[in-house]
Structure 1
Amino acid sequence: MMLRRSATCHATKRTAFTHRRVVPRSRIVVVAAARDDVLLRSLSGSAEVSVLVMDGTKLVAEAQRRHKLAPTATAALGRALLGALLMGSFRKEDEQVQITFQGDGPAGSILAIADTRGNVKGKINNPAADPPLRPDGKLNVGAAVGKGVLAVVRSHPLEPQPYTGMVPIVSGEVAEDLANYLVDSEQTNSALGLGVSLDRDCNVKSAGGWLVQILPFCSEETLVQLESNLSSMPTITTLLNEGCSAQDITERILEGLGVLPEGQAITPRYGPCEEAALKKRMIRAVAALGKQEVADIIQQEGKLEVTCDLCQQTYQFTQQEVDNYIDGVDANVEETAVQA
């Protein structure tokens, strides 16, 4: 791996399904599952390198549960969620980043939306996507994603319009594609590693990632040491499975460079969407069908349910709720017209 101020970003190995000894199922111990998720931001001792390291095991496990994901779909969406968090956290308040993989593989499009406070949510068009394993026996995320376009949108309420960057999907393995985007569209000299590891029962054993960014005036000596550290470092899932913390992994990345003590930490989480705002959007969409269409659905189905694509939360609405909403909108329109 080469890290140079003018060089292309490189992604490290992204292991989705780690090698392990075959042991009796009753003896399997998941070390990382007992830890809380954390996203840690640190600076090297000379403030020349910024490092974000995340343990997002519980977050990806929740995404797997909510979306009922197959193994390869878990790895694909999990990496996208982790990558969005690394790219979106510790930025301007209320900023959001949205990444979309629009590939031609069986997974279909993959979407992840993260904010600067560590909240993330997303979806994959085909939760059952699970192509055959790669020749090395690992989950074939690249085949699930396929070729196509990666789009990244950064938005902020105070900005007149969002910034959008688009690049071709390089490998479909997610980390390499996001690293390629950072250098191609944002001219950020970075290295990025992502990983999702599953156990024998296809549950999430560990999931995490790291993002290394070279800051201005970084010395050549620092770049050489950092390159050596990253080239010899095991995958993020290997380190998490061994019980390493985010602080341990940060120190491993910055070995020989020192770590400033005033690091910042947040707890990443799989959002659910805000219930009040979500229900308001849902009933607005339902009301657009009209009273008669809603009545027909309730008569045929016995109920009217709406499910959010991102958090998979389902809510039921009665005919009366919809009618009241429509009548309230009509009354507001009439009142506005009279005042005008």
Structure 2
Amino acid sequence: MKDHLIKATAFNGTIRAYAIQSTETVEEARRRHDTWATASAALGRTITISTMMGAMLKGEDKLTVKVEGDGPTGPIIADANAKGEVRGYITNPHVDFELNGIGKLDVARAVGTTGNVSVVKDLGLRQNFTGQVPIVSGEIGEDFTYYFANSEQVPSSVGAGVLVNPDHTILAAGGFIVQVMPGATEETITQLENNINSIPPISTLIREGNTPQQVLEQLFGVGNLRIHETIPVAFSCTCSIDRVKNAIKSLGNEEIDKMITEDHGAEATCHFCNEVYTVDIEDLESLKQ
């Protein structure tokens, strides 16, 4: 099944939920950035959560997420929008460690346990919304749980997981965000907490073939869940050769002449998708004004 996410509510609208299958999306990011296993998990979790957060937006709104810890991966950046499109990169993709004490990829060691998680939302207004919280564990899911509670004042549970094959390709990836709305009873909240703590890891559920809907059904029960929307999800970058040429053009004729005489052309690599764009001498000449 293709990557997708669902928007849902449960318990008469007092619980809001998002769930995603992101295996192919994370694999595309891994392939483009040549990430090693632990770095793949860190980037994959960030991309997965960012995609669900993007789905909370409307229209042409978009957001940028930055996870910047003191670990060897360096900053992790992801952009997402309301259409299920996401792109992202990790500063140092070649990070991998032995499994941690509970037999999982040691994402906290890779990301670091000191630093910040920040979210910038472009909602088409004069000023962007910016929220920032300290990293609490480096496991990313827990860090975004803390972000929602403290920056957006919405009690939430955020889960994201990535399973990596021995050849470093992505076996399974997915996640969920569950949020408590006004009117939720203590009984509902307690039941939900127990269910979240008792189900298998989200990446295991995806690997076993569970859809995002089936994941939420395990959390809420079939009769309690109402699906509102299903959105296809994909790694998608906004870069293009035209953007590169426009950027070069804005540098002015003097800089373009240097590219022609000293470098015999120009080359640019997109941080987000690792696509390489080459501009030859003839194209550079045409950009001069």
TM range (shorter): over 0.9
CA drift at 1:132: 3.8
Equivalent in 29, 38, 63 of residue 72 of structure 1: 38
1:148 and 2:104 are equivalent in the alignment: no
Q: Name the counterpart of 1:322.
A: 284
Tell me the percent identity: 33
Q: Name the counterpart of 1:10.
A: none
Q: Name the counterpart of 1:92.
A: 58
Alignment CA distance shift 1:127-1:44 (3 Å)? same
Deviation string 1:304-336 (CA, Å, 9 cap, x unpaired) is 321111111111102232232231xxxxxxxxx
1:253 and 2:219 are equivalent in the alignment: yes
CA distance in 1, matches of 2:250, 2:99: 41
Contact 1:44-1:258 at 8 Å conserved across structures: yes
1:241 and 2:207 are equivalent in the alignment: yes
1:137 and 2:103 are equivalent in the alignment: yes
- Relative to structure 2, which stretch is displaced further, 102-111 or 215-224? 215-224
Deviation string 1:165-215 (CA, Å, 9 cap, x unpaired) is 111111111111111111111101111100000122221000000000111
CA distance in 2, matches of 1:211, 1:288: 50
Contact 1:189-1:213 at 8 Å conserved across structures: yes
Q: Name the counterpart of 2:260.
A: 295
CA drift at 1:294: 0.2
CA distance in 1, matches of 2:56, 2:88: 20
Contact 2:260-2:284 at 8 Å conserved across structures: no
Q: Give the unaligned 5+ runs of structure 2.
A: none
CA distance in 1, matches of 2:15, 2:109: 34
CA distance in 2, matches of 1:284, 1:149: 36
Equivalent in 169, 173, 177 of residue 143 of structure 2: 177
CA drift at 1:154: 1.1
Q: Name the counterpart of 2:179.
A: 213
Structure 2 SS opposite 1:188 = coil
CA distance in 2, matches of 1:288, 1:177: 47
Q: Which residue type is aligned with residue 295 of structure 1?
A: I
Q: Name the counterpart of 2:269.
A: 307
Equivalent in 263, 277, 287 of residue 228 of structure 2: 263
Q: Name the counterpart of 1:54.
A: 20
Q: Name the counterpart of 1:125.
A: 91
Deviation string 1:265-302 (CA, Å, 9 cap, x unpaired) is 00111012253653345434665871332024434xxx
1:40 and 2:14 are equivalent in the alignment: no
CA distance in 1, matches of 2:253, 2:139: 40
Q: Which residue type is aligned with residue 243 of structure 2?
A: L
Q: TM-score, normalised by structure 2?
A: 0.93
Equivalent in 174, 186, 191 of residue 152 of structure 2: 186
Deviation string 1:53-83 (CA, Å, 9 cap, x unpaired) is 1000000000000111111111111111111
- Relative to structure 2, which stretch is displaced further, 188-197 or 306-315? 306-315
Alignment CA distance shift 1:288-1:58 (3 Å)? farther
Contact 2:79-2:88 at 8 Å conserved across structures: yes
Alignment CA distance shift 1:94-1:289 (3 Å)? farther
Contact 2:142-2:158 at 8 Å conserved across structures: yes
Equivalent in 200, 219, 232 of residue 198 of structure 2: 232
Contact 1:46-1:257 at 8 Å conserved across structures: no
Q: Give the unaligned 5+ runs of structure 1.
A: 1-34, 328-340
Q: Which residue type is aligned with residue 257 of structure 2?
A: Q
Q: TM-score, normalised by structure 1?
A: 0.80
Q: Name the counterpart of 1:279.
A: 244
Q: Which residue type is aligned with residue 94 of structure 1?
A: E
Equivalent in 151, 154, 161 of residue 127 of structure 2: 161
Q: Name the counterpart of 1:197.
A: 163
Structure 1 SS opposite 2:288 = helix
Alignment CA distance shift 1:166-1:90 (3 Å)? closer
Structure 2 SS opposite 1:42 = strand
Contact 1:90-1:117 at 8 Å conserved across structures: no
Contact 2:241-2:277 at 8 Å conserved across structures: no
Contact 1:182-1:190 at 8 Å conserved across structures: yes
**Higher gyration radius (CA):** 1
CA distance in 1, matches of 2:188, 2:253: 59
Alignment CA distance shift 1:179-1:287 (3 Å)? farther
